[in-house]
Structure 1
Amino acid sequence: MTSPNVLIIDDEINLTRSLAFTLRQAGMDCKEAHNGHIGCKIAQRETPDIVLLDVRMPGMGGLEVLGWFNEELPGVPVIMMSALDDTQDAVSAIKMGAVDYVSKPFDVDELIHLLNETETRRQLASEVRYLRERSIEFDFIGGSAGIAQLRRDIERIAASQAQTVFLTGETGVGKAVVARELHRQGSGLDASFVEVNCATLPVRQIDTELFGAERGGGHGSPSRPRGLVEIANGGTLFLDEIGEMPLEVQAKLLNFLETRSYRVAGSNREYHADVRVIAATNKDLAASVDAGDFRRDLFFRLNVVPIAIPPLREREKDIELLAVHFAVKHAQSSVSAPIGFDKTTREFFLSYDWPGNVRELKNLVERLSILYPGQTITADRLPPEIKSVEPKRALSIEQSMENVERDLIREALMRSKGKKGLAADRLGISRHALKRKMQRLGLA
């Protein structure tokens, strides 16, 4: 982790100079400002990594300065400093978006630890934004080889003429997210996307829900409620938990996949629908076929274009990025500061198997965000099942970012067929910058 560039804004000149000297001794670069107006000018010119801001100052007060940072430099974390009798103002600052506050007189070692933790969170948040900008724009944050391959598969299949796609993966890996991205890239947002969970539809209704039913309407005119296949016409039909579909409906689905034609219940008339069908399951359908619970011919028809989504335990380098991503998303929706994760917590995250995968991690981060808003999560706040494993040593921020850069450069080179100029354009950097990065990362 690189040391942060800290801006101290405080009207107590002696304290500011003493604190700046101490932080420089700890390897941090510091700038000083002795009133709010000068602090804002320095920040506008140099964009600090972290701001230490006093609550009470003459003229432009700390809360007013914080409001300026929220407007002008919203990505810069601000830590408030307050005397013991100013804690109510400090709490107000937290509600306005400050990441934390310290009370004067403060313990310098604790402050240095807080600054380092804040810098860790800032760098991870920056890395998440970098991945969002450089990656395909959907909710699969990560730089692992598995996710890079998944992005390539989605891009290739979405652009193809494949009318049936089969997604496999454990519960919580994000099959619905992949289905929506296939739809977005293939059909576009204007086309219909219809999601059906085959496990939740009543057995007696699943046929009519999918294909509709003919029945008599009022005033002597027929009424035919539209089935989901018809609603999805021209777009995508996503059949989640396909392994739970009753055998009697499987035959009708197979016929539709073969012909793109179907009959509604109570009618001999045939209808046609131009629909991309995406099926998904967390079950071993081959085993279900052997057990007689799933049609062999339907399984083969579905399995023409398969996509296997990797579980989170095989995406170790993505775990911390995802945790920060979910923390930032929750903070944005709840208008609060995002939580952070100390070193031991991150090591436990790497050790845990995540049987619920990305969904389990997301739910955990949301729960911790509600219980400890804006705080750094320590291991004692984790649930017992996560603390029951031996923690692995977490990658440093620099190692994590190097791994992400390495994977993105490899992907850009592959898409550019080895042409460094085109790869540099894809990455938004110069050819010389790409060459230097490749040498540093051992890719030259």
Structure 2
Amino acid sequence: MNPASILVVDDEAPFVRSLVYALKKEGLKPTGVNSCAAALEVLRGTEIDLALVDLRMPEVDGMETLARLKALAPDLPVIMISAHGDTRAAVQAVKAGAVDYLTKPFELDDLIHCIHQALDRRRMHKEIEYHRSRQLSTASLIGASPAMAALREAVERVAGSGTSRILIHGESGTGKALVARAIHAGSRRADQPFVEVNCAALPEQLIEAELFGAEKGAYTGAHQKRTGLVAVAEGGTLFLDEIGEVPLALQAKLLHFLEDGTYRPVGAATVHAGNVRVVAATNRDLAALVREGQFREDLYYRLNVISVAVPALRERAGDALVLAEHFAARYAHQEACAPITLTPETVALLQAHLWPGNVRELKNLIERLTILYPGEVISPAVLPQELRGAAVPPQPGTATGAGAAPVMPATIDHHMDQAERQMLLAALSRSSGHKGRAAETLGISRHALKRRLQRLGL
């Protein structure tokens, strides 16, 4: 461990020389100066761990020196040194930000003890802040499975990096927005805005104006100047959810912004610059969309600089029960009731279910059960039919009966398509076949609904 750097500030040169010599003998790394100006010069060019400042100095006294040192390095511990009779001023200095004070003449042992106490407090504060930042960035990523441990590790690495273009991919309902927020919370941009944009929910003709802004009169209905979400997110993170739904016409402009950070609001004559970290998310196979001509290849590669995969709930062994308990506590607090509890049979069904809707499906289930059966014990009888019929899927090569052939489990893509098909058909049924109302129910644009229907052959 490197010796702590101590800055000694006192106008009495003999005192400074003797103190520097004594501190060196104690294994510290002291630097002595005789004025506030010299102290500030040292602080600007050297990393200092602690400063010793005399209260009575000509030109700039100790109180003003303390203020200027703290302005330059707010977390620098400062110990004030006062002459006999200056105790009241020393106490005032502590109130102004000094960590302690000593009265001349003092024993060297007392000074060394005071220094080590202040350095230990500073070290502890830094460790607490470090662990607090780690907890903040991954606190929402709940789960004890190896898949979630790997995800939290990836989020911490990506969040702390300098990359400004990140792609999150995973099935619908896995929590990609939570991952995006965790990346933002663990980054150096954490105290700046986090702006979320659902690209599938915006009307196709308004996405550009929503992202980049628009001048008054730039299009029909633009009665006033619109500030784009890129400008709102300045200095922070812009989260583009459902990036695969961005129309081809806008993809070129989005690529230009990702390349050099500049954009032009709709109807504007000047180019603007934006400093944002762009995090995009999708539940679709962008590489397949590129092959089908629905997504620009250059935009795909620009977004896919750093990729984070969010595991499906069925890939997170044991996490369904952990999440169920978490949501039960959350919704119990929200509904001001006791949390629901699960029978062993119910637990077995939850663990056996494939969760095609992932965490979102589980969360909605627990919320519904909490509202309908507050504080009660949940038996299989009150579970939805799709859960009551849940069973552990047969493994490849396992016979299901006498002479039965091996049964291969359905693919992930098959389950995703089936779940999406059911959701689309249910929305169309509720809206009597009206696509616009069905799209609103699903929280996507009519254009996105049309493309999903075409892809599924509906």
Asked whether the two chains share a fold, i.e. TM above 0.5, the reply is: yes
Aligned to 1:291: 292
Aligned to 2:374: 373
Aligned to 2:360: 359
8 Å Cα contact 1:171-1:282 kept in structure 2: yes
Aligned to 1:329: 330
Aligned to 2:319: 318
Query: Given the alignment of the two structures, is residue 240 of structure 1 paired with residue 218 of structure 2, yes or no?
Result: no
Aligned to 2:184: 183
Q: Deviations 1:232-254 (Å, cap 9, x if unpaired)?
A: 11001000000000101100000
- Counterparts of 1:199-210 in structure 2, within 5 Å, are 199-210=200-211
Amino acid at match of 2:193: S
Q: CA deviation at 1:216?
A: 5.7
Matched residue SS, 1:194: strand
Aligned to 1:344: 345
Aligned to 1:249: 250
- Counterparts of 1:35-434 in structure 2, within 5 Å, are 137-215=138-216, 224-390=225-391
Q: Distance in 1 between matches of 2:335 and 2:266?
A: 47
Tell me the C-alpha RMSD between the 2 structures. 1.9
Superposition misfits of 4+ residues, deviation over 3 angstroms: 133-137
Report the structure number with the largest CA radius of gyration: 2
Matched residue SS, 1:280: strand
Structure 1: give runs of 5+ residues left out of the alignment. 1-132, 393-444
8 Å Cα contact 2:137-2:185 kept in structure 1: no
8 Å Cα contact 2:321-2:347 kept in structure 1: yes
8 Å Cα contact 2:138-2:156 kept in structure 1: no
Structure 2: give runs of 5+ residues left out of the alignment. 1-133, 394-458
Q: Deviations 1:46-85 (Å, cap 9, x if unpaired)?
A: xxxxxxxxxxxxxxxxxxxxxxxxxxxxxxxxxxxxxxxx
Matched residue SS, 2:278: strand
Q: Distance in 2 between matches of 1:380 and 1:280?
A: 37
8 Å Cα contact 2:137-2:182 kept in structure 1: no
Matched residue SS, 1:254: helix
8 Å Cα contact 1:197-1:239 kept in structure 2: yes
Q: CA deviation at 1:389?
A: 2.2
8 Å Cα contact 1:166-1:302 kept in structure 2: yes
Q: Distance in 2 between matches of 1:147 and 1:260?
A: 33
Q: Deviations 1:307-359 (Å, cap 9, x if unpaired)?
A: 00000000121111100000011111111110011111111111111011001
Amino acid at match of 1:150: L
Amino acid at match of 1:211: F
Q: CA deviation at 1:264?
A: 1.3
Q: Distance in 2 between matches of 1:213 and 1:365?
A: 43
Higher RCO (CA 8 Å, separation ≥ 6 residues): 1
Task: Tell me: CA distance 1:286–1:137, structure 2 relative to 1, closer, same or farther (3 Å).
Answer: closer
Q: Distance in 2 between matches of 1:204 and 1:141?
A: 38
Matched residue SS, 2:204: coil
Task: Tell me: CA distance 1:213–1:313, structure 2 relative to 1, closer, same or farther (3 Å).
Answer: same
8 Å Cα contact 1:168-1:308 kept in structure 2: yes
Q: Deviations 1:208-261 (Å, cap 9, x if unpaired)?
A: 1111112369xxxx9642111111110010000000001011000000000001
Q: Distance in 2 between matches of 1:334 and 1:315?
A: 28
8 Å Cα contact 1:214-1:264 kept in structure 2: yes
TM-score, L = length of structure 2: 0.54
8 Å Cα contact 2:137-2:183 kept in structure 1: no
Matched residue SS, 1:345: helix
Task: Tell me: CA distance 1:209–1:150, structure 2 relative to 1, closer, same or farther (3 Å).
Answer: same
Q: Deviations 1:150-172 (Å, cap 9, x if unpaired)?
A: 11111111111110110000010
Q: Distance in 2 between matches of 1:335 and 1:188?
A: 36
Amino acid at match of 1:285: L
Matched residue SS, 2:205: coil
How many residues are treated as equivalent by the alignment?
256
8 Å Cα contact 2:151-2:310 kept in structure 1: yes
8 Å Cα contact 2:190-2:236 kept in structure 1: no
Amino acid at match of 1:260: G
Q: Distance in 2 between matches of 1:287 and 1:158?
A: 28
Amino acid at match of 2:373: Y
8 Å Cα contact 1:187-1:236 kept in structure 2: no
Aligned to 1:428: none
Q: Distance in 1 between matches of 2:348 and 2:217?
A: 64
Matched residue SS, 1:292: coil
Matched residue SS, 2:177: helix
Identity %: 50
Q: Deviations 1:363-386 (Å, cap 9, x if unpaired)?
A: 001111111111111111111001
Aligned to 2:414: none
Q: Distance in 2 between matches of 1:147 and 1:272?
A: 37
Q: Distance in 2 between matches of 1:345 and 1:139?
A: 25
Amino acid at match of 1:290: R
Amino acid at match of 1:170: E
